Structure 1
Amino acid sequence: MNGSTDNAIKLDIIIVGAGLSGLSAAISCALAGHNVVVLESARELAEIGAGLQITPNASRILSSWGILSTLAASGAEPTTLTVHRYSNGQILAHDASFDEHIRTKYGAPFVDLHRVDLQRALASHAEALGVRLVLGTRVEDVDFEAAEVRTASTMGRTGTVFKGDLIVAADGLWSKCRSCFLKSSDPPLPTGDLAYRIVLEADKIADKELRGWVERPQCHFWIGPESHVVAYSVRGGKMYNIVLLVPDDLPEDVAKRPGNVEEMMGLFEGWDPILTRFLKNVESVDKWKLMHREEMPAWVNDQANFVMIGDSCHPMLPYLAQGANSSMEDGAVLGGLLKGIRSSVELKERLELFQRLRKARGEAIVKETFKQRQSFHMSDGPEQEVRDELFLRQLGKEIVGEFPSRWTCPVVQPWLYGYDAEKEVDTALASLGVKANM
């Protein structure tokens, strides 16, 4: 730990993983005045994954960092949000001014992006702040006593030891850091669902009606027995992201594999014709097993030199699009809480405060994603009929009370989208007698 002229400590922080949580933490920790290195196993930030829905709780963070404006051409702001019955496309819920309502309520937009566009923008901003990004570096072990990370030897290159004051585990669902922390392999658990992830290019869609859906950004859901679909535009309406959520049929030890287009089409036979017309444009598709993890007793170690964030400690079903958003919240709050610390005692205090704030919220969102699955995956029958009647009773009206779609639910949406990471940090620091915005 290095002191500075104002007696604040300049930490050497090692972040494992250059995903959204790791890069967000890198930016916020650099803004807090610390030295940051990010270790990433991938050799490049490639076009892996597909679309992301960035909700106001995260777009607010991106805006404060000056990143959101640089992504304007890459994103698509959905003007409407619609929930359809699976079999005939019947509209169950519809917000005709979704973009306007979101900006009015939360002062920040709802933006759909391609994951790699966001990841690269975050990486570029982090490096501009002096963060060192080391690609092609796989972590092999963590020494918690010495606060050291040892990387594996690859491609004839010997492994390296990185030593710091704080190690941040942001290495995702299959976190090596988590296994080291728990001293066991601790594999993630299947949720029972899998996702077909599809990206279509607008200029390759011959059907003019479908192409119009892509070019005029909207968000559509189709909900049905044990399955649902979400579709939205990215890259300024030039691409269409479709995610099909269905029961998991992958072997227990397989997390991802190429899918069969005919098999996929068979699962959605009898669904809304406009959806199946979109699916006829699919040439190839991958299947991704959706995983989760048990809640952890702690995200911070006893030595207060290690903390976990993002999917390494609270992976969640994608049914509220909060995996990415909550990961960026984690990163922003962590760095914010590390501003102006003056001793190792204060570091421990701030990390414990981070855990107290973020663990409760992360785990609450995880639970809500399973509730959303239950609401969207009902088989036809009495329970589904009650749900649809609740939908239709409020169609075209201002929604009141709990609502089956949390995307426009006046009970759930405010605590998801209204969260302000900067205010959370300021309030938390004030509770410690520390001035905000130091």
Structure 2
Amino acid sequence: MPTCDIPKQAPYNILIVGAGLGGLATAIALRKKGHNVHVLEGAPALGEVGAGIQIPPNSTRLLEAWGLKDALMKKIVWPKAINMRRYDTGAVIGITPLDPTMQKAYGYPYWLIHRADYQQILCDAAIAEGAKVTFGAYVLDCDQDNVTVTLANGEVLSADLIIGADGISPLQCAKRNANAPYPGIKSRVREFAVMPEEIVEPRTTTNCAYRATVPGELMRADPELKKLIEEPYSNCWIGYRRHIMAYPIREGQLYNLVMSHPGAAAVGKWNEPGNLDEMKAHYAGWDPILDKVLDKVKACLKWKLADLPVLSRWVSRSGKVVLIGDAAHAMVPYLAQGAAQAIEDAATLAECISRTRSTDDFGAVLRVFQLIRKPRCEKIQKGSMENGDIWHMPDGPEQVARDADMKITMDLLAAEAAGIPTEKLAKTGKSNPNRWSDEEFQPWLFGHDAVAHANAQLDLLLKL
């Protein structure tokens, strides 16, 4: 139905399972449409889990539309560029310009933030919009037919619609342990309500990642490290099967490190302690500046890198339960799009629900939501995995060719500085192997307007 013919409906009662970034963003988007929203989170409170996270333009356009720019501006770092560096020398081999390039190309900026700050801002905004957020509400079961969830304390909650924003599942079926909560068991909604006949196992990679932060004052105390914390750049050192992504967060109070490496860890756990000596050993022989940074790390966390296979569906057969975020399309972090896609899910789902006259329309509209979102998310899942392969090449002819192709952006920047006319720097050449700088992939990724796209597709598909 055309946008101008959107029916007015009574507010729906909606349960969201999971108070991660996607669940809270969905609460904001649905409250702005006037629905009654209750977010259930198994953890006792929000915590400082994780470290830095990137907010690309396809997210910032939605966050600004929800009125969150002022709150975010107090916590973000506005990076000038992402510098891709050779692992052993630190030489810059490629650049993705960000500020002001992203604003000029796509109308919205690229930000860096601490995940905990991001989550708190979204939680505060959801509550301010009128959503109810309950912590310590661990979901044991989800019934797609009766549209209910059962909590660990025995309480049964009902709704018109249930949204599963409860993350990636571990390698065992949650239903085997359905009588008691287990901190590592996630996506009860997917296992019990959306795909109860299947066991969906994450696709684990051979890599894990360490997360750590270094206090800004320690970085500033060393003349060689001061530049890293005071200049607003992301730096990514890439080598065989490993990389280190590093950037300042909290206005330079912390230096964030994400270190991908071969190894084992638990799937779906973000807070498993890592061994500092083991962490340093993985990067022996790398850029000497990194030795100095890693020596200042006092503690690190470790988690397994995994994604989900392509799911057969995101919507329950009853049409009253739907998956979003990592529960539907978990991806590896090599495009920094996991959270961004959950934000897009939130905005798209709110537009879809606004097209219904009653709960009888949920099945049809949620299937359209799946048609809109699934292909894009799956393309990004694939692109994320491929970007990791490109970063993690061994030294050799392919790596030399990759580095030469990645240098295209640097040549364009030099040309612009010399006054030689060039195309927009956001479009850096089809041959650039780094997806962030690819002439075709970057605009498709960062220039996406989830709300406009959703409404265009709804106008088209709801007529069919």
Q: TM-score range by the shorter chain?
A: over 0.9
Contact 2:267 2:303 (8 Å CA) reproduced = no
- Does residue 60 of structure 1 match 2:65? no
Structure 2 gap segments, 5+ residues each: 1-6, 170-186, 413-424
Give the aligned partner of residue 406 of structure 1.
435
Cα shift at 1:67: 0.7
Question: Cα distance 1:94–1:292, how it changes in 2: closer, same or farther (>3 A)?
Answer: closer
- DSSP 3-state at the match of 2:411: coil
Cα shift at 1:394: 5.1
Give the aligned partner of residue 166 of structure 1.
161
1:25-40 paired onto structure 2 within 5 Å:
25-40=26-41
Separation in 2, partners of 1:427, 1:253? 35
Separation in 1, partners of 2:384, 2:87? 20
Cα shift at 1:204: 2.7
Cα shift at 1:391: 2.3
Instruction: Report the more deviating stretch, 13-22 or 247-256.
Output: 247-256
- DSSP 3-state at the match of 2:37: strand
Cα shift at 1:212: 2.8
- DSSP 3-state at the match of 1:70: helix
Contact 2:86 2:93 (8 Å CA) reproduced = yes
Question: Which amino acid counterpart does residue 155 of structure 2 have in structure 1?
Answer: T
Cα shift at 1:248: 2.1
Give the aligned partner of residue 180 of structure 1.
192
Separation in 1, partners of 2:268, 2:160? 36
Question: Cα distance 1:63–1:253, how it changes in 2: closer, same or farther (>3 A)?
Answer: closer
Per-residue CA distance 1:368-399 (angstroms, 9 max, x = gap) = 01110111000111211221222235532252
Question: Cα distance 1:275–1:420, how it changes in 2: closer, same or farther (>3 A)?
Answer: same
Cα shift at 1:148: 0.4
- DSSP 3-state at the match of 1:124: helix
Q: Out of 213, 216, 241, which is 1:202 matched to?
A: 216
- DSSP 3-state at the match of 1:387: helix
Question: Cα distance 1:410–1:393, how it changes in 2: closer, same or farther (>3 A)?
Answer: closer
Question: Cα distance 1:216–1:389, how it changes in 2: closer, same or farther (>3 A)?
Answer: closer
Cα shift at 1:234: 1.1
Instruction: Report the more deviating stretch, 64-73 or 305-314.
Output: 64-73
Cα shift at 1:267: 1.1
- DSSP 3-state at the match of 2:264: coil
Contact 1:9 1:340 (8 Å CA) reproduced = no
- DSSP 3-state at the match of 2:342: helix
Give the aligned partner of residue 352 of structure 1.
367
Cα shift at 1:254: 8.0
Cα shift at 1:170: 0.3
Give the aligned partner of residue 144 of structure 1.
144
Give the aligned partner of residue 453 of structure 2.
424
- Does residue 305 of structure 1 match 2:305? no
- Does residue 100 of structure 1 match 2:103? no
Q: Taking structure 2 as the reference length, what is the TM-score of the superposition?
A: 0.87
- Does residue 80 of structure 1 match 2:94? no
Cα shift at 1:433: 6.9
Instruction: Report the more deviating stretch, 234-243 or 305-314.
Output: 234-243
Cα shift at 1:78: 0.5
Contact 1:138 1:152 (8 Å CA) reproduced = yes
- Does residue 286 of structure 1 match 2:315? no
Separation in 2, partners of 1:255, 1:57? 25
1:221-232 paired onto structure 2 within 5 Å:
221-232=236-247
Per-residue CA distance 1:179-229 (angstroms, 9 max, x = gap) = 113235534231111001011110133213313321221111111001111
Cα shift at 1:409: 1.9
- DSSP 3-state at the match of 2:296: coil
Contact 2:224 2:289 (8 Å CA) reproduced = no
Q: What's the Cα RMSD here?
A: 1.9
- Does residue 193 of structure 1 match 2:193? no
Cα shift at 1:255: 7.4
Question: Which amino acid counterpart does residue 411 of structure 1 have in structure 2?
Answer: E
Contact 2:232 2:248 (8 Å CA) reproduced = yes
Give the aligned partner of residue 420 of structure 2.
none
Question: Which amino acid counterpart does residue 211 of structure 2 have in structure 1?
Answer: R
Question: Cα distance 1:218–1:8, how it changes in 2: closer, same or farther (>3 A)?
Answer: same
Contact 2:372 2:454 (8 Å CA) reproduced = no
% identical equivalent positions: 37
Separation in 1, partners of 2:321, 2:431? 39
Cα shift at 1:112: 0.3
- DSSP 3-state at the match of 1:24: helix
- Does residue 242 of structure 1 match 2:242? no
1:126-141 paired onto structure 2 within 5 Å:
126-141=126-141
Cα shift at 1:256: 5.7
Question: Cα distance 1:7–1:257, how it changes in 2: closer, same or farther (>3 A)?
Answer: closer
Contact 1:265 1:279 (8 Å CA) reproduced = yes
Contact 2:94 2:408 (8 Å CA) reproduced = no
Question: Which amino acid counterpart does residue 92 of structure 2 have in structure 1?
Answer: I
- DSSP 3-state at the match of 1:313: helix
Instruction: Report the more deviating stretch, 253-262 or 172-181.
Output: 253-262
